[in-house]
Amino acid sequence: ELPPSEFMQVADSTWLVLSVVSNGREPPGCQATGVTKIARSVIAPLAEHHVSVLMLSTYQTDFILVRERDLPVVIHTLAGEFDIYKEESGECVPVTCEDVSNGFLKPKPPASPTLHPVQSPQTRFCVLTVAPDTLPAIATMLIDVLFYSHSPSWDAATGSQDLDSITFFSFSLIEGYISIVMDAETQKRFPSDLLLTSSTGELWRMVRIGGQPLGFDECGIVAQIAEPLAAADISAYYISTFNFDHALVPEEGIAEVIQLLQQRQESSR
């Protein structure tokens, strides 16, 4: 319903959402769950079968987006490890490989995925949620932050963004649940009694993936981060965007994360 605009780019693909649950239950909504080992067990096999994914972590749970045209490959890849259901009229209906076999082509083994550079700004971030009934109380501030206050810090000499103070703000509203990621300085502008976070109130640091816009045809970008972190039992909050991917990790673990990712890049050369 959005009017066409020369300022708006729209990806060609239509995407479907995979929500991964454990033992038939959603992960508890007490804090950010991040790129869990369950998500990793989906991301890695799909990368091996050359399926591109977008990852969206929220305060409540994780979502993995796949292109609609890749659904047959996704079902065939995951059916051995997961019970797969689709929503029909609000009901969960089992899906089998036979249901999507029409047009299925066994994918060719992909070439080794490109390992993209990772950058870690000094900015500290908060992962928050808001009770839906209190949203009107911060609506004006949200609009100001989303559309007016934030402008990238650009280095005029190099024409690049200053990663020491990266601008990043994420707001998602999914099935009534609100999830927000903002830097610690921006959080101070909001009423503290309306923003809810985990009991530890931990701060997060970011690893940004990609030296240039990544596009949607390449696979293995999320796996590049998810696999080594999951193997080291490090939780991460992952957000794919149109141009770059972003992984947030607990502040106290950022040095270990950078070391792990650097070791992975060096071992792949």
pLDDT at 100: 57
Q: pLDDT by residue (tens digit) across 44-58?
A: 899 888 888 989 988
Query: Alpha-carbon torsion 115, 120, 121, 126, what sign?
Result: positive
166 pLDDT above the threshold of 80: no
* Average of per-residue pLDDT across 186-201: 84
149 pLDDT above the threshold of 70: yes
Residue 15: band (very low, low, confident or very high) from pLDDT cuts 50, 70, 90: very high
Q: Residue ranges per domain, the chain?
A: 118-150+158-212+243-268
Contact between 39 and 20 under an 8 Å Cβ cutoff? The reply is yes
> Cα–Cα distance between 95 and 70 in angstroms, integer?
15
DSSP-derived 3-state class of residue 151: coil
Angle at 226 between CA 75 and CA 72, to 5 degrees: 10
> Among 213, 250, 241, 223, which Cα is nearest to 31's?
250
268 pLDDT above the threshold of 80: no
What are the residues whose beta carbons fall under 8 Å from the beta carbon of 13, sequence distance 6 or more?
67, 68, 69, 216
For residue 212, the 8-state DSSP code is S
Query: Alpha-carbon torsion 261, 262, 267, 269, what sign?
Result: positive
What's the pTM value of the predicted model, to 2 decimals? 0.78
* Average of per-residue pLDDT across 5-10: 86
Contact between 45 and 239 under an 8 Å Cβ cutoff? The reply is no
Q: pLDDT by residue (tens digit) across 77-113?
A: 999 888 999 888 889 899 877 655 544 455 555 555 5
Return the residue matching tokens 């994360």. Answer: 257
Contact between 204 and 127 under an 8 Å Cβ cutoff? The reply is yes
- Three-state SS string over 82-108 comes to CCCEEEECCEEEECCHHHHCCCCCCCC
pLDDT at 180: 94
Give the start-end residues of each E strand in 120-166.
Answer: 124-128, 154-155, 160-161
Q: Which DSSP helix (H) or strand (E) runs through 266? A: helix 254-267
> Cα–Cα distance between 244 and 218 in angstroms, integer?
12
> Cα–Cα distance between 96 and 47 in angstroms, integer?
21
Residue 225: band (very low, low, confident or very high) from pLDDT cuts 50, 70, 90: confident
> Among 219, 210, 198, which Cα is nearest to 246's?
210
Q: Render the burial of 3-33: b for 16+ CB within 10 Å, e for the rest.
A: eeeeeeeeeebebeebebeeeeeebeeebbb
Q: Render the burial of 114-132: b for 16+ CB within 10 Å, e for the rest.
A: ebbebbbbebebbbbbbee
| Residue 150, Cβ density class (10 Å: 0-12 exposed, 13-18 middle, ≥19 buried) | middle
pLDDT at 30: 41
pLDDT at 158: 44
118-150+158-212+243-268: what fold? VC0802-like (3.30.2130)
